Amino acid sequence: MVDKKKILEIFQKNPEEYWKVELFGKEGFKRKVCPSCGKGFWSLEERTHCPNPECGEEYGFIENPIAKKMSYIEVWKKMEEFFVRNGHTSIPRYPVLARWRDDIYYNIASIVDFQRFDNGVMVFEYPANPLIVPQVCLRFNDILNVGVTGRHFTAFVMPGQHSFNYPKEGYWKDETIELNFRFLTEELKIPKEKLVYVEDLWTMPDFSALGPYLETFSLGLELSNSGFMYFAWKGGLKELPMKVVDVGWGLERLSWFSGATITAYDSVFGDVVERFIRKTGIDFDRSLFKIYSKLSGSLNVEDIVDFNHVKKEIISKLKIDEKDFTEKIEKIQAMYAILDHTRALAFAITDGGLPSNSGAGYFLRVILRRALNLIERFGFNITLEEVATWHAEYLKPIFPELKQSEDEILTVLSVEKKKFEESKQKNKKVIEANYGKNLSIEELVKLYETYGISPEQLGIEPSKEFYDLLDKRHKAVLKERKEILEFDEIKTEVLYYEDIFEFDAKVVKVKDNFVVLDRTAFFPRQGGQECDKGFINDYEVEEVIKIGSTILHKVKECKLKEGDVVKCRVDRERRMILSKHHVATHIINYAARKVIGNWVWQSGSNVDIDKARLDITHFENLSEEEIDNIEKIANEIVENDLPIEVCTIPRVEAERKFGFRIYQGGAIPEKNVRIVKIGEEVEACSGTHNMLKSTRETGNILILSTKRIADGIVRLEFCSGSVALDYLKEKEKILKEVAEKLGVEENDVVEACRKLFEEWKKERKRLRK
Amino acid sequence: MEKGEEEAEKMREEFEYLKKKYKILKEAAKVLRVEDKDLPRVIERFKRELEEMKKI
């Protein structure tokens, strides 16, 4: 069984081939091997050990600036300008919610922007080459370290410098490190003697892609990772068809290094720190915190077994008592954590994320409630909404979208705060019963998942194990394909996007009651749309499914044989209703987003003939006014008779043209996507919308019901066209019957009901007396 | 106006007309706190109970 260490050893046998670049020779960098970790490193200065903190190096830049002093914003601007000047295209960041992937919830590295799957194989799709992108990433595996270590974040910007497909396009190792060196020495003005390049190996967990990488360090701080992906491990090293340069810079780190502040937060959050201090009136003893920071620099909550012991040790070294530690150190840590968590939330909400008790929203709620708990614990007279506004303002030169989404950010934060307060009230008894108890991690997690009660509410400091267990339980799992063919995949020729409802076909496989034809116009159940029905010869088609590229027709008591030529007939009327309902689903999705907010995303859908169902992400049930408005906007779109345009284009082009909202139904595991455009609503979808030319053909849309089906999910049921008319006619019949029974005109039914009810109540009261 | 458009217009008018009726039905159901499909049965029951109570 191969492991990372083994592959690294193979590379280390030939460091010149894997890590040496032209620059090292040109500038006179010498290679040494660190006696502590065994890794090779390249430096100009004489040194024995590599600059990794684990090998003894301390942060030498804190209050000892050696780089040009620049703000967080200026560092990115400088970087963007440098790389654009050197042939790169600067592209806007991708969303923090990785909707184009179904194996991760959040964007965790800039390279994720360009990783796609094509029938199970990872491929790279890029809008420019080479490029630079200020990618905001979210990681929730270090929550407890945030605020404490001075360098951990849940949200951070990883400027990605990427080049693909060398030698056909882009560049490779020599130019990558040349650019790296030039940016750091020419733009950030770091003396070249202070740069050290450490050899390491990057690999995917399953070794499907790997390669050497060089970490750039200066005064103990890692500033970037330059990865070169060109191998896979298949019993040995095998070269991949595409070479990829994956340089992940750390904007937080570059800014910290440049600012040389006590913590990274002071450089990264800019004036937001001062605004927080001013508003809350925190007594910030900077000299004491500086001493603490030096002690905490090497702190990693992950490695601490006994947190209380370490805390006591730090208190004794600081020569203060526990009360002072809480007031002067923990309070500041809390401030930094609140600042970080709010920034992460602002990005997530801007990109359509919503805190909830499951899935991707789970982690957002964890940090949101952690921030609220910290505000309460330290009595800060501040709201998350205020902090979010400050971040949006500060980050406007790089991420103006935060400011544009301010209303939505504030709405979601305030709703969540209300929910938290309500949950505290509702769970008061549970909290009281468990307060101060010695609960196990499992019990704490259960309380959190069942009631939303966090350890802090029980007077318990949450431990790393607590967050680890939560993380484990809510991690995105790669969707498993449930349906498995019991025979080799047979590619069925697809006719259902054409105007074909009667056709001849050849039976190519029969398995139980499932028939595979060489070609079919039967639409299989996919993209939320129910399947077509009809006949194959005289056999009634009950169900049509698609597994891979094979389409299977389920018929009753099948006696068909392979090789039979059959006559097939698709139920056109059923298809038409399904198509209308599918178009209505897209329209309702758009209308809901317009009425409610940008956080509305499709969470699920089902398109059938009696009605369609759309589950959307939203934090509360819809009011009558909202339902009326959604229906009104939807019917305006119908009346405006907008064209329904369908095309199949490369995924990368679709993303560039229409953005990531196209992934309403989830990630598309194919290189080309089928795009359905209805007015401003553009979605990647496999439905049969092409049956309709324009929205008026859908017929009027009627919302039948709405219901909050889970935390953060609201279900809308609706129908359109003749189905809606039939539904309303049924209701009219009931109204007629009611009017008759009441002996009034239809328009007077409400008043008559009221009267009847009042009279009934009055009589009942009389009898009770 | 073309035939198709005429039909669409007719359908829209019918839809609006029926929706108004539906609104009345929903409003009435709300008054008696029942689902609209149960209204005839519930009204029947209320009327019957009312008559019986009046007899006492």
pLDDT score recorded for residue A670: 80
* Statement to judge: residues A309 and A351 lie in one domain: yes
Give B47's contacts in chain A (Cβ within 8 Å).
Answer: 741, 756
Q: What is the pLDDT of residue A24?
A: 97
> How many structural domains is chain A composed of?
5
Same domain? For A290 and A213 the reply is no
Tell the residue number behind the tokens 């009651």, with chain if given.
A513
* Residue A702 domain-assigned (yes or no): yes
Same-domain status, A618 and A651? yes
CA dist., res. A553 & res. A438, Å (int): 58
Tell me the residue ranges of DSSP E strands in A399-549: 493-494, 502-511, 514-517, 519-520, 534-536, 539-547
One-character DSSP codes across A229-277: EEEEESSSEEEEEEEEEEEEE-HHHHHHHHHT-SSHHHHHSTHHHHHHH
CB contact under 8 A, B56 and A767: yes
> Please, how many CA atoms are within 13 Å of residue A160, restricted to the half-sphere of its CB?
27
- Is residue A289 domain-shared with residue A386, that is, in the same domain? yes
Q: Does residue A106 lie in a domain region?
A: no
Distance CA A267, CA A323 (A): 28
Average pLDDT of A634-654?
94
Q: Give the mean pLDDT of chain A.
A: 91
All residues of chain B having their beta carbon less than 8 Å from the beta carbon of residue A741 are 40, 43-44, 47
- Contact between chains at B50 and A759 (C-beta distance less than 8 A): yes
For the segment A740-760, the average pLDDT, to the nearest whole number, is 95
CA distances in angstroms from A713 to A15, A616, A620, listed in the order given: 53, 6, 8
Kindly state the tokens that stand for A256: 């910290």
Instruction: Write phi, then psi, for B21 (nearest 5 degrees).
Output: -65, -45
Extract the tokens encoding A217: 């360090």
CATH of residue A215's domain is 3.30.930.10
Q: What pLDDT was estimated at residue A481?
A: 39
The parent domain of residue A748 ranges over: 737-768
Region B13-24: mean pLDDT is 95
CA A756, CA A754: separation in Å to the nearest integer? Answer: 5
- Contact state of B53 with A763 under an 8 Å Cβ cutoff: yes
pLDDT of amino acid A709: 87
**Could you tell me which residues come within 8 angstroms of residue A483 by beta carbon, excluding any fewer than 6 positions away?**
A545, A547
pLDDT score at B56: 80
Best A628, A637, A639, A700 residue to mutate vs chain B (most B CBs within 10 Å):
A700
Q: What angle do CA A30, A187, A92 make, to 5 degrees?
A: 110
Does residue A584 sit in the same domain as residue A672?
A: yes
Tokens (6 digits) for A500: 């074909």
> For the segment A375-385, what is each residue's pLDDT rounded down to a tens digit?
999 999 999 99
Instruction: Please state whether the peptide bond connecting residue A35 to the residue before it is cis, i.e. omega within 30 degrees of 0.
Output: no
**Last-in-domain residue among A263, A298, A318:** A263
Question: Which residues, in sequence order, are CB contacts of A3 under 8 Å at separation 6+?
Answer: none
pLDDT exceeds cutoff 50 at A478: no
Of A700, A724, A746, the CB nearest to B24: A746
Residues from A in contact with B at Cβ < 8 Å: 639, 696, 699-700, 702, 721, 724-725, 728-729, 731-732, 734-735, 737-738, 741-742, 746-747, 749-750, 753-754, 756-757, 759-760, 763-764, 766-767
Query: Do B53 and A760 count as a contact with CB atoms less than 8 A apart?
Result: yes
Tell me which of A738, A746, A761 to substitute to probe the interface with B (most B C-beta atoms closer than 10 Å): A738
Residues A78 and A204 in one domain: yes
- Interchain proximity A760–B22, CB inside 8 Å: no
Q: Are residues A380 and A242 in the same domain?
A: no
**Residue where a domain stops, chosen among A240, A263, A286:** A263
* Distance to chain B for A569, nearest Cα, Å: 27
Mean of the pLDDT values across residues A487-511?
A: 92
Residue A729: closest CA among chain B residues belongs to which residue? Answer: B18
Total domains in the fold of chain B: 1
Which residues of chain A make contact with B45, given a CB cutoff of 8 A?
none
Say if CB A248 and CB A109 are below 8 A apart.
Answer: yes
- What percent of chain A lies above the pLDDT cut of 90? 69
Residues 6 or more apart from A259 whose CB is under 8 A from it? A65, A69, A70, A71, A266, A267
Instruction: List C-alpha distances in Å: A113 to A108, A133, A158, A708.
Output: 9, 9, 11, 33
- Residue A761 clears pLDDT 70, i.e. is over it: yes
The token pair at A510 is: 């029969």
Sort out which chain B residues have CB atoms less than 8 A from A767's CB and list them: 53, 56
Q: What is the pLDDT of residue A55?
A: 86
Residue A448 domain flag: no
pLDDT at A480: 40
pLDDT of the residue at A311: 75
Same domain, A390 and A253: no
Average pLDDT over residues A619-646: 95
User: Cβ A735–B22 below 8 Å, yes or no?
Assistant: yes
Is residue A384 in a domain?
yes
Confidence (pLDDT) at A477: 44
Return the closest-CA partner of residue A517 out of A575, A555, A565, A569. Answer: A565
**Contact between A731 and B36 using a beta-carbon 8 Å cutoff:** yes
Tell whether A503 and A629 lie within a shared domain. Answer: no
Interface test with A, best of B31, B34, B54 (most A CBs within 10 A): B31
Q: Are residues A283 and A374 in the same domain?
A: yes
Residue ranges making up the domain that contains B38 = 3-55
Question: Residue A474: its pLDDT value, please?
Answer: 64
In a domain, A178, yes or no: yes
Give the ipTM: 0.95
pLDDT tens for A102-155 read 888 899 999 999 998 877 778 899 999 999 999 999 998 888 889 888 889 999
> What is the predicted pLDDT for the residue at A117?
81
pLDDT of residue A769: 78
CATH label of the domain that carries residue A666: 3.30.980.10
Tell me which chain A residue has its CA closest to the CA of residue B5. A696
Angle CA(B23)–CA(B28)–CA(B31) in degrees, nearest 5? 130
Q: Nearest by CB to A757, which of B21, B32, B40?
A: B32
Task: Please tell me the distance from the alpha carbon of residue A48 to that of residue A50, in angstroms, as a whole number.
Answer: 7
With contact defined as beta carbons under 8 Å apart, do A217 and A193 qualify?
no
Percent of chain A scored above 70 by pLDDT?
Answer: 97
**Residue type at position A623:** S
Between A10-19, A60-69, A470-479, A560-569, the lowest mean confidence (pLDDT) is in A470-479
Q: At what angle do helices A384-394 and A406-426 cross, to 10 degrees?
A: 160
- A266-300 pLDDT, tens digit per residue, is 999 999 999 999 999 998 988 888 888 877 755 65
**What confidence category does residue A710 fall into, taking pLDDT thresholds of 50, 70 and 90?**
confident
pLDDT value, residue A304: 57
What's the confidence (pLDDT) of residue B3?
A: 63
User: Cβ distance A586 to A685 under 8 Å?
Assistant: yes
Q: pLDDT tens digits for A213-239? A: 999 999 999 999 999 999 999 888 999
Four-point Cα dihedral A257, A259, A260, A261, nearest 10: -120
Q: Answer whether B18 sits within 8 Å of A750, measured CB to CB.
A: no
Q: In the predicted model, what is the mean pLDDT of residues A438-461? A: 80
C-alpha closest to that of A261 among A151, A355, A130, A164: A151
Count of beta carbons in the 10 Å neighbourhood of residue A509: 17
Q: Among residues A426, A455, A478, which one ends one of the domains? A: A426
- Residue A475 — very low, low, confident or very high, per pLDDT cuts 50/70/90? low
- Residue A738, classed as helix, strand or coil, is helix
Q: Torsion-angle region of residue A736: left (phi > 0), alpha (psi -120 to 50) or beta?
A: alpha
Contacts of A348 (CB under 8 A, 6+ apart): A96, A97, A138, A364
Residues A258 and A165 in one domain: yes
3-state helix, strand, coil in chain A (%, to 5): 45, 25, 35
A700: in domain: yes
Average pLDDT over residues A532-549: 93
What is the CATH classification number for the domain harbouring A515? 2.40.30.130
Q: What is the pLDDT of residue A482?
A: 44
Mean pLDDT (whole number) for A749-755: 96
C-alpha A372/C-alpha A380 separation (Å) is 10
pLDDT at A479: 44
